[in-house]
Amino acid sequence: MTTPTDTSRSAEHSPFYAHIARLRYIKRWGLMRNAEEEDVAQHSWEVAVLAHALAVISRDVFQQPVDPNAVAARALFHDATEAITGDLPTPVKYSPAMRHATANLEGEVCREMVSLLPAALQPSMSAVMDHAHWPAHEAALVKTADRLAAWLKCQAELRFGNPEFAQAEQQIRRKLDEHMTPELRYFLDTFAPAFALTLDSLMQGE
């Protein structure tokens, strides 16, 4: 009988989470001059927070049957394969010539990473990491959160006086508008304006 102090089941070593930890070393927006660098671990956390917020709004404001915790977990791992591939810049990742190849690469790397886990953990983590296994509504919330995080990053860069992100900000905002949802509209109206405030203004409740 296994007891809480029995370590016999943990003798199998896995590098999976060591790979995940290295997301902090992978820079985003690699083709652009950044006023403030952003890494993939930081981005993943922000997307998870935003996706959770959108899911809570979806459930509690618009009465949709969605689990915010499941959405947040999927968002947290949405770029996990970049621990192996690095961050592919948008002009490369979404170019007509590369779109299909990139999708296939991400799928293969996802399966390879999941295979690094102990067998007992693979089904649960595959469901979290493999985009093909995500319910449609949850996938849409994560995609919206990903775009929203990118737009907020562009907005921040522009506030830092960096015009490098001006065109990206416009392009991403158009995408948000094209794929506007009730959850996103609610977030933009309720929470987005505060991102432009200084700490003093936030503390004063302006």
Q: Which two tokens stand for residue 90?
A: 């948008």
pLDDT of 44 > 80? The answer is yes
Q: Are 79 and 40 in contact (CB under 8 A)?
A: yes
Q: Rounded to 5 degrees, what are φ and ψ at 41?
A: -65, -45
The average pLDDT across 29-48 equals 96
pLDDT at 35: 96
204: three-class secondary structure by DSSP: coil
Tell which phi-psi region holds residue 16, choosing left (phi > 0), alpha (psi between -120 and 50) or beta: alpha
pLDDT at 7: 46
**pLDDT for 86-125, tens place per residue?**
887 666 565 666 666 677 888 899 999 999 999 999 999 9
**pLDDT for 145-190, tens place per residue?**
999 999 999 999 999 999 999 999 999 999 999 999 999 999 999 9
d(CA 66, CA 75): 14
Give me the DSSP letters along 184-196.
HHHHHHHTGGGGG
**pLDDT for 46-67, tens place per residue?**
999 999 999 999 999 999 999 9
pLDDT at 1: 46
Compute how many other C-beta atoms are within 10 angstroms of the C-beta atom of residue 61.
12
pTM of the complete model beyond 0.85? yes
Tell which phi-psi region holds residue 64, choosing left (phi > 0), alpha (psi between -120 and 50) or beta: beta
39: three-class secondary structure by DSSP: strand
pLDDT of 24 > 90? The answer is yes
d(CA 102, CA 108): 10
pLDDT at 205: 74
Q: Are 114 and 129 in contact (CB under 8 A)?
A: yes
Give 194's pLDDT tier (boundaries 50, 70, 90): very high
- Which amino acid is located at 70 in the chain? A
DSSP assignment letter at 9: G
**pLDDT for 8-20, tens place per residue?**
455 589 999 999 9
Q: Are 75 and 142 in contact (CB under 8 A)?
A: yes
92: three-class secondary structure by DSSP: helix
Q: Which two tokens stand for residue 61?
A: 């404001």
Compute how many other C-beta atoms are within 10 angstroms of the C-beta atom of residue 24.
13
